[in-house]
Amino acid sequence: MKLIGTRGEQAVSAEEAVVRGIAENGGLYVPESFPVLSADEFSALLPMDYPERVACILGKFFENFGREELLGALREAYGRFEEDDPAPLVRMDNGTYLLELFHGPTCAFKDMALTVLPYLLKKSAEVLGIKETFLVLAATSGDTGKAALEGFKNSEGVKVMVFYPEEGVSKMQKLQMGTTEGENVNVVAVRGNFDDCQRGVKKIFASAETREKLLQKGVRLCSANSINFGRLVPQIAYYFSAYCDLVTSAQIQMGDKVDFAVPTGNFGNILAAYYAMRMGLPVGKLLCASNRNNVLTDFFRSGVYDAKRPLYRSMSPSMDILVSSNLERLLFEITGRDCALTAERMRSLQKTGKYSVTEKEQNALRELFFADFATEDDTVECIYDFFEDYGYPMDTHTGVAMCVAERYLETLEKDPKAEKHPMVVVSTASPYKFPQDVLYALTGNDVKDSFKGVKRIHLLTAMKVPESLKAIRYKPILFKTTVSPDKMLDEVLKFA
């Protein structure tokens, strides 16, 4: 399997793409062509458990990895989850399904890939004969950071460093990152928002001078964000797995289309669903659900991506993003894989804060995507009503996705010619990860202490509290450094 850059670059192997993280010209790696599952390969997934299904999908891209070794690594990775099934599908009485992706070590969907990425990175380095230490950098809006720290901590030959916006993550997310133990980890707060963090990390990756300085220290940069293709591929698998669960539980027949509603910030999670479709998954509609930072909703509706707007802090902080990096990969596809045009649009975004697509491209996007957003009040109301009706507590990000899903289903009811499919809402985090906002949505009560919020949600819902969140309550805060965006590189060089 070869990969190419969205802005034009010589094809590289999947292993090289994982090790590099991002192309030298700033582009993102995409498959030279999408491997499509045959009918027999798809049917063979049905009786498999989750690690086996993931192994089949990863094997399509990492052809130099032995099947048994890969499966063993996946069983070890997903063995760290609190449930036997890492990605269970829950059917609700209203006919929708919730794909729970929050049973991993950090209680968020990023664990689905970041428990696997350390193996992909080490194995790729082994295949390529690379001996240097890796410095894994991540910008985080809350969830990627802790998942990367947890995935890579105490890994031999790897250091991991996370930048997060000082005031742009929840208290529980900040606690999770700040209490991480490990000889090879570092966490730094940035005075700014997530886009400042992401911009700073991309700038570090794009600097040939910085890469050379680090290589002189025997260190190679690598990304843990979804700009790294190795982060993206494991996420494709849970869409196939959800579909297989629908078939094996006789909810659908093989070949029936399914809609997916995805809470969306950096566009990686929903892009994985799009990639699954390109690999043969029968997808009807992909619902791109945004919070009040609705830059993506405006883009899909108008054809203009305009990031020159205020960034609002919200109760769904992992989606508080204005520059959705993975959208570049989708743009590359709708242009007919025109790398020059994609590069031009990315330059326009960097210089002017905006770019636009053609009417033809916009129509192509609308064929597959439905985009809408939920305000803070919409999210609170949806979480409350859903719990009242079905007894199921959702986190704030899932609440955004459910709100948009319900709105989409209402539009279908008004159109007798509309094609209706089963709706899977992707549940990306445990409600206990955002306890204060979830408690407020469920009861109208405010608490200042996150763990009081956890206790009260548990008393109200009887939902099991994740052991990993219980454990951090009395751990000391180990990382207290805060810097301005222009000092991020200094911290990287110091840590290296």
Q: What is the pLDDT of residue 100?
A: 98
pLDDT attached to residue 17: 97
User: What value does the mean pLDDT take over residues 336-340?
Assistant: 97
Report the alpha-carbon distance of residue 78 to residue 81 in Å, rounded: 5
Query: How far apart are the C-alpha atoms of 7 and 26, rounded to whole Å?
Result: 8
CB atoms within 10 A of CB 254: 13
Model confidence at 79: pLDDT above 90: yes
For residue 334, the model assigns a pLDDT of 97
Percent of the chain exceeding pLDDT 70 equals 100
Task: Assess whether pLDDT exceeds 90 at residue 416.
Answer: no
Q: Please determine, for residue 116, whether its predicted confidence score (pLDDT) is greater than 90.
A: yes
> Residue 142: is its pLDDT beyond 90?
no
Q: List, in order, residues 6 or more apart from 250 with CB less than 8 Å away.
A: none
Give the pLDDT band (50/70/90) at residue 9. confident
Q: Please provide the CATH number assigned to the domain covering 89-107+235-465.
A: 3.40.50.1100
**What are the sequence ranges of the domains in the chain?**
89-107+235-465
Longest dimension (CA), the chain: 65
pLDDT band at 233 (very low <50, low <70, confident <90, very high): very high
Q: Write the CB contacts of 271 (distance below 8 Å, at least 6 apart in sequence).
A: 226, 232, 326, 327, 329, 330
pLDDT per position as a tens digit, 281-296: 999 999 999 999 999 9
Mean pLDDT of 262-284: 98
Name 369's bridge partners.
286
Kindly report the three-state secondary structure assignment for every residue of the chain: CEEEECCCCCCEEHHHHHHHCCCCCCCCEEECCCCCCCHHHHHHHCCCCHHHHHHHHHHCCCCCCCHHHHHHHHHHHHCCCCCCCCCCEEECCCCCEEEECCCCCCCECCHHHHCCHHHHHHHHHHHHCCCCEEEEEEECCCHHHHHHHHHHCCCCCEEEEEEEECCCCCHHHHHHHHCCCCCCEEEEEECCCHHHHHHHHHHHHHCHHHHHHHHHCCEEEEECCCCCHHHHHHHHHHHHHHHHHHHHCCCCCCCCCEEEEEECCCCHHHHHHHHHHHCCCCEEEEEEEECCCCHHHHHHHHCEEECCCCCCCCCCHHHCCCCCCCHHHHHHHHCCCCHHHHHHHHHHHHHHCEEECCHHHHHHHHHHEEEEECCHHHHHHHHHHHHHHHCCCCCHHHHHHHHHHHHHHHHHHCCCCCCCCCEEEEECECHHHCHHHHHHHHHCCCCCCHHHHHHHHHHHHCCCCCHHHHHCCCCCCCCCCEECHHHHHHHHHHHC
Q: How many CB atoms sit inside 10 A of residue 213's CB?
A: 15
pLDDT at 370: 98
Task: Flag whether pLDDT at 153 surpasses 90.
Answer: yes
- Tell me the C-alpha distance between 20 and 15, whole Å: 9
Cβ burial of 417 (10 Å; 0-12, 13-18, 19+) is exposed
Helix 327-334 × helix 339-352 angle, to 10°: 140
